[in-house]
Amino acid sequence: MAILSIIETPDARLKQISTPVATVTDAHRTLIADMLETMYDAPGIGLAAIQVGVAERILVIDLQPDADDTPDDAASEDIVRIKQPRVFINPEIVWASDELSVYSEGCLSVPEMYADVSRPARIRVQWLDDQGASNEAEIDGLLATCLQHEMDHLNGVLFIDHLSRLKRGMLLKKLEKLRKTG
Active site residues: 150
Q: What does the radius of gyration of the chain's CA atoms come to, in whole angstroms?
A: 17
Sign of dihedral through CA atoms 134, 137, 143, 149?
positive
Residues facing 106 on adjacent strands = 114
Closest CA to 50 of 6, 92, 20: 6
CA dist 53 and 76 (Å) reads 37
